[in-house]
Structure 1
Amino acid sequence: MLISPAYAQGIGGAGGADMLTSFLPLILIFVVFYFLLIRPQQKKQKEHKAMLASVRRGDKIVTAGGLIGTVAKVIGDDELSVEIAEGVKVKVARGMVSTVLSKTEPAKGDDKDEKEAKEEAEEPKKD
């Protein structure tokens, strides 16, 4: 007979190395996405959350709707009263503040700032 019989190949013994090389591009794509997309977004979210926590009376803000106004009163943890024109005040959810245009000096009753002022006054000046 001129035709040789064809036999099925057995399962290769190097399956572990083949699995790693086949998943390597997928792992590499995930690492690139993490450093270019996920990590910067988490950092931006953290900065925005800190900015929202530091909003106080007198700050000039821009809301997500585009209104520019001055914080007249901090009503609660998640609500602000914003003066958008003379005598016109609106309530705004704290989460809807997109940016703080200008910060005001802390109030005199703020314990942290009073302690810092006392420490600066007590330190002897070096010439």
Structure 2
Amino acid sequence: MIEILAAAAPAGEPPAWLTWLPILGMVVIFWFLIIRPQMRQQKQHRDRVASIKKGDKVITQGGLVGKVVKVDDTYADIELAKDVRVKAVKHTIADIIEPGGKPAND
């Protein structure tokens, strides 16, 4: 009779794949809530940087605001003030300021 009870015990355990189900669920949740939106933002930033043209007002990641004077594949020449130009790597440009944009303190 003890042999019958011992043989029945392993049948009550869940399958091995079922123990991985909560971890798989967490990975899916992380994918849709964190990873996927971040990839979408990176793609939008790449597209914005690729569309920079002469005359655009931009903000660099360092916080400098200026007007694009010249653009090539890797660099953008930005005029910060009269006769003050810097050369910035295009991917360090954080954003493009839309024309007619509202000032930050208004």
- TM > 0.5 between the two? yes
Query: Which residue matches 1:93?
Result: 89
Query: Cα distance, 1:21 vs. partner?
Result: 1.8
Higher relative CO (CA 8 A, sep ≥ 6), structure 1 or 2?
2
Structure 1 residues 77 and 14, CA gap change in structure 2 (3 angstroms): farther
TM-score (norm 2): 0.80
% identity of equivalent residues? 34
Correspondence list, 1:53-68, <5 A? 53-68=50-65
Query: Cα distance, 1:12 vs. partner?
Result: 3.2
The CA distance in 1 between the partners of 2:62 and 2:85, in whole Å, is: 15
| Alignment coverage as a number of residue pairs | 95
* Structure 1 unpaired stretches of 5+: 104-127
1:42 aligns with 2:42: no
Q: Deviations over 1:25-67 (max 9, x none)?
A: 0011001000000000010000000000000000000000000
* Structure 2 unpaired stretches of 5+: 100-106
CA RMSD of aligned residues (A): 2.2
Query: Cα distance, 1:20 vs. partner?
Result: 2.1
TM-score (norm 1): 0.67
